[in-house]
């Protein structure tokens, strides 16, 4: 993003992609052989299966991207700026104990242990298109439930107009924090109606298992009609506020990263066209759709707004 590690993401050749079944078999083998236990070949990949995941009508019928790509082609700058840094450098990252604090303009501020978040509501499988501002995209089968379900627990007050997300910054286990590439901790924000929209997912899993460190374990938000950076990983605090919060990427480069950051093929980033995208595993580019293909569900949130100004 800000740092030009690779200007345009390279598509991964089909021959390099491991199907989910083969990946699982390899993972089971490594687990049985004890590699996951000693943190060797699969640093943070020893995660538990999620029970009772239900299908959702919000899912796309497009073919999900293989897990090996979702787990090895990541942006998570706290672990480094290369696409393979998060999977390689997250071996020391701990997701237990974990607490998510919800506070600010609400009647019942409180902290949720990760165990409580996993039980708060039935977990759904939401197969979402995800598009990064850098021009690549994936189809990801996330597991979670609407963020609204969690926010309702704390009873937001009428004055709560925005939601601010703060993600973990643990210098001991996140080597990227030693470099001042961004203003840590990573923060993001949504308008309250965006946060309460049924597509906005409090995400606890991926492909029916708990989240991997590189994908934002143990809990993140996923907002499929916005560029990937709005979907903050490894959340430790959610604050209900009355003013639009400052966000990490907007602070880093306000000309390039606006607060809204809705996927919009008509408004280019200064360095990257947003008209087309390359789905990981595919060779040819495809057209990027308005609101990433979720216009029917979300366009009314922005009725009357100039989306060139509020980009
Ligand atoms: N959250 C934190 N804490 N740190 C990050 O660097 N990167 C963002 C977003 N959330 C990021 C983050 C960006 S730029 C993208 S594209 C998505 O995470 C990538 O999510 P994925 O790796 O699970 O696909």
Pair 249, 183: CB distance under 8 Å: no
Give the closest residue (by CA) to ligand 1 atom 17. Answer: 228
Give the three-class secondary structure for 24: helix
On whether the CB atoms of residues 239 and 166 are closer than 8 A, the answer is yes
**Could you tell me the distance, in angstroms and rounded to a whole number, from the CA of residue 233 to the centre of ligand 1?**
6
* Residue 67 alpha carbon to ligand 1 centre in Å: 16
Q: Of the candidates 125, 145, 140, 146, which has an alpha carbon nearest to the alpha carbon of residue 55? A: 125
- Confirm if 208 and 117 have CB atoms less than 8 A apart: no
Q: What is the DSSP string of 92-156?
A: T---SS-EEEEEESBSS-EEEEHHHHHHSS--EEEEEEEE-TTSEEEEEEEEEEEHHHHHHHT-B
CA-CA distance, 111 to 114, in Å (whole number)?
Answer: 10
Q: Is 248 in the pocket of ligand 1 (CB under 6 A)?
A: no
Which pLDDT tens digits describe the chain residue by residue (311 residues)?
A: 544 333 223 333 333 334 444 444 444 434 433 333 333 344 446 789 999 999 999 999 999 999 999 999 999 999 999 999 999 999 999 999 999 999 999 999 999 999 999 999 999 999 999 999 999 999 999 999 999 999 999 999 999 999 999 999 999 999 999 999 999 999 999 999 999 999 999 999 999 999 999 999 999 999 999 999 999 999 999 999 999 999 999 999 999 999 999 999 999 999 999 999 999 999 999 999 999 999 999 999 999 999 999 99
Query: pTM for the complete prediction?
Result: 0.88
Helix (H) or strand (E) holding 251: helix 248-252
Pairing of strands 110-113, 136-146: unpaired
198 CA distance to ligand 1 middle (Å): 21
Query: Exposed, middle or buried by CB within 10 Å (0-12, 13-18, 19+), for 282?
Result: middle
For ligand 1, what atom is nearest to the CA of residue 70? 24
């Amino acid at each position: 993003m800000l740092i030009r590690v690779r200007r345009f993401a390279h598509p991964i050749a089909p021959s390099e992609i491991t199907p989910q079944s083969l990946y699982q078999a390899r993972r089971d083998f490594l687990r049985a052989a004890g590699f996951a236990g000693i943190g060797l070949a699969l640093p943070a990949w020893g995660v538990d299966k999620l029970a009772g995941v239900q299908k959702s009508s919000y899912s796309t019928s497009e073919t999900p991207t293989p897990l090996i790509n979702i787990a090895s082609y990541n942006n998570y700058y706290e672990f480094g700026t290369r696409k393979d840094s998060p999977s390689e450098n997250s071996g020391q990252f701990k997701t237990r104990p974990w607490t998510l604090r919800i506070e600010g303009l609400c009647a019942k501020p409180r902290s949720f242990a990760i165990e409580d978040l996993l039980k708060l509501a039935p977990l759904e499988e939401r197969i979402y298109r995800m598009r990064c501002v850098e021009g690549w995209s994936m189809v990801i089968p996330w597991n979670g439930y609407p963020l609204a379900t969690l926010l309702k627990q704390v009873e937001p007050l009428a004055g709560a107009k925005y939601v601010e997300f703060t993600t973990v910054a643990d210098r001991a286990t996140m080597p990227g924090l030693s470099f001042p590439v961004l203003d840590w901790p990573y923060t993001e924000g949504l308008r309250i109606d965006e946060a309460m929209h049924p597509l906005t997912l409090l995400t606890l899993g991926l492909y029916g298992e708990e989240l991997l460190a590189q994908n934002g374990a143990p809990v993140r938000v996923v907002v499929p009609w916005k560029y990937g950076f709005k979907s903050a990983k490894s959340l430790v605090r959610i604050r209900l506020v009355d003013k639009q919060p400052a966000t990490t990427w907007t602070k880093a480069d306000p000309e390039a990263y606006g607060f809204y950051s809705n996927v919009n093929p008509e408004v280019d980033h200064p360095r990257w066209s947003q008209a087309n995208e390359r789905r990981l595993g595919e060779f040819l580019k495809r057209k990027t759709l308005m609101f990433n293909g979720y216009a029917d569900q979300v366009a009314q949130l922005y009725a009357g707004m100039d989306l060139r100004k509020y980009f």
